[in-house]
Amino acid sequence: MKKTIRDFDLNDKKVIIRVDFNVPIKDGIITDDNRIRESLETINYAIENNAKVILLSHLGRVKTVEDKEKNTLEPIAFRLSELLDKEVMFVDETRSEILTDAVNEMRAGDVILVENTRFEDLDGNKESGNDSDLGKYWASLGDIFINDAFGTAHRAHASNVGIASILPSGIGFLIEKELKNLDIALNNPDHPYAVILGGAKVSDKIGVIENLVNKADYIIIGGGMAYTFLKASGLPIGASLLDSENISFCERILKEYPDKIILPIDNVVSTCIDTPTDVREIFINDIKDNEIGLDIGKASVKVFKDILKDCKLVVWNGPVGMFEEEVYSGGTKSLLDYLSKLDAKTIICGGDTASAAINLGYKDKFTHISTGGGASLELLEGKELPGIKVIGEK
Ligand code: AMP
């Protein structure tokens, strides 16, 4: 078992918490503060236990000097201060005497937010490349390290693996909750157990299918990736997304698990993604050569619901249509609505599916909505995440 923040005496200690404040920001305004809210439990626990709290987070990618301006954590410091109802000192540097001095002057209960860790990527990819000097410097600021950034736990960066390799370390409440819920999907499933997979590419989901096909009773497939499976079963797919390198993978899975793999029987199609003027809802067989399948149709939704209705566990990764466009969002919305009312454990993973669920107002209607797209996918593939592997055992 991994150590958690509860396993440390935090009193008067400098506690570095790696949080995930990678929130969408438009014109300096945070448009969705969900990730900040998700980290409050751990931060508040540290404050209540008299720690000196030093927060590290990345925001977006920083490849140019202009990216720095767009990706400063300053607006996040303001929002965090409001949410915590206490002062948050923002240090607009990632490595300097100013930062070291600010940390040395902290008193118990103080909170410092350090500037975007990825500013260190500008000069030689030091954060993302887990530069050992950078890890050592950040570790020198604290006594204890807590990783609570699930969204980057599948990456070995200086701000997680680098620091945790040096300081006594544990996980925060958010990562603890993620691991507990995803463990249900991996090691402790209730049956019948259905996995819904969607999104663009088969290649991204091969590892998940391989790992879950023997654990789940059904793998329901929608989205762009369904078309490679449909092609592999000999059906026409028009101009829909095709992952031609993985047709043979789909053929094998369909042959080995004919009753487990559930594919759409109808779809919403158009000849042009950008100008949806000739949208039709048709059975799969009726697709014309120049038409692109962009959502599952109502008959597929019905087939999927018939399977889901008796399920005791449903894990979902990837939208079943190009849900960003209203005309192609019907399938994803119908399934979200249905699952939100289902008497079953429901786990929503992956950036797109999770943000669709939250934006449509279903935040509290599921057993768990994962905060990490890539990280949850890698866990479902059965991989160990480097940002968690490095954490001390109890
Ligand atoms: P992923 O990151 O692989 O989970 O893919 C998510 C993306 O898949 C979303 O941006 C969707 O718009 C896209 N998507 C879902 N269904 C389709 C489809 N039928 N054709 C093209 N793109 C799709």
153 and 217 both lie in a single domain: no
CATH number at residue 368: 3.40.50.1260
Same domain, 294 and 324: yes
CA of 81 to the centre of ligand 1 (A): 36
Asked whether residue 390 is domain-assigned, the answer is: no
**CA 264–ligand 1 middle distance (angstroms):** 15
Give me the pLDDT at residue 213, please: 97
188 and 168 in a common domain: no
Q: pTM of the prediction?
A: 0.92
Of the three residues 151, 173, 195, the one that is the final residue of a domain is 173
200 Cβ closer than 6 Å to some ligand 1 atom: yes
| Coil, helix or strand at residue 268 | strand
Structural domains in the chain (count): 2
Q: For position 356, what pLDDT does the model report?
A: 85
Q: Is the CB of 350 under 6 A from ligand 1?
A: yes
The closest-lying atom of ligand 1 relative to the alpha carbon of residue 200 is 8
C-alpha radius of gyration, the chain, whole number: 23
pLDDT of 361: 86
* Per-position b or e across 93-128, b if 16+ CB within 10 A of its CB: ebbeeebeebbeebeeebbbbbbbbbbbbeeebbbb
Of the residues 260, 374, 383, 392, only one is catalytic, namely 374
pLDDT in tens, the chain (394 residues): 999 999 999 999 999 999 999 999 988 899 889 899 999 999 999 999 999 999 999 999 999 999 999 999 999 999 999 999 999 999 999 999 999 999 999 999 999 999 999 999 999 999 999 999 999 999 999 999 999 999 999 999 999 999 999 999 999 999 999 999 999 999 989 999 999 999 999 999 999 999 999 999 999 999 999 999 999 999 999 999 999 999 999 999 999 999 999 999 999 999 998 887 899 999 999 999 999 999 999 999 999 999 999 999 999 999 999 999 999 999 999 999 999 999 999 999 977 888 888 888 888 899 999 988 899 999 999 999 999 999 999 9
Residue with tokens 């945790």: 164
Known active-site residue 201: yes
Where a domain ends, among 173, 194, 213?
173
**Shared-domain flag, residues 185 and 166:** no
Tell me, in angstroms, the distance from the centre of ligand 1 to residue 327's CA. 14
Residue 35 known to be catalytic: yes
Residue 293: CB within 6 Å of ligand 1?
A: yes
Q: Are residues 220 and 79 in the same domain?
A: no
Asked if 146 and 279 sit in the same domain, the reply is no
Q: Are residues 159 and 194 in the same domain?
A: no
CA atoms within 13 A on the CB side of 5: 32
- Find the 356 Cα to ligand 1 centroid distance in Å: 12
For residue 232, being part of any structural domain is answered with yes
- Whether residues 119 and 235 fall in one domain: no
Q: Are residues 158 and 218 in the same domain?
A: no
Q: Is residue 101 part of a domain?
A: yes
Do 167 and 185 lie in one domain? The reply is no
Distance CA 323, CA 344 (A): 24
Residue 385 lies in a domain: no
* Catalytic residue list contains 374: yes
Closest of 272, 324, 264, 326 to residue 298, by C-alpha: 264
The C-alpha atoms of residue 87 and residue 80 are separated, in whole angstroms, by 9
Position 275 scores a pLDDT of 80
Examine residue 386 and state whether it is found in any structural domain, yes or no: no
In a domain, 51, yes or no: yes
257 and 375 inside one domain = yes
User: Annotated catalytic residue: which of 13, 35, 95, 345?
Assistant: 35
Are 226 and 162 contained in the same domain? Answer: no
Q: Is 333 a catalytic residue?
A: no
Task: Examine the fold and report which residue of 147, 173, 199 is the final residue of a domain before the chain moves on.
Answer: 173
CB atoms within 10 A of CB 272: 13
* Sequence-ordered alpha helix ranges (H) in the chain: 34-38, 40-48, 65-70, 74-84, 97-104, 132-140, 163-164, 173-187, 206-212, 226-232, 247-256, 298-308, 330-341, 351-359, 373-380, 386-389
Of 3, 70, 136, 201, which residue is the catalytic one? 201
Residue ranges making up the domain that contains 360: 180-380
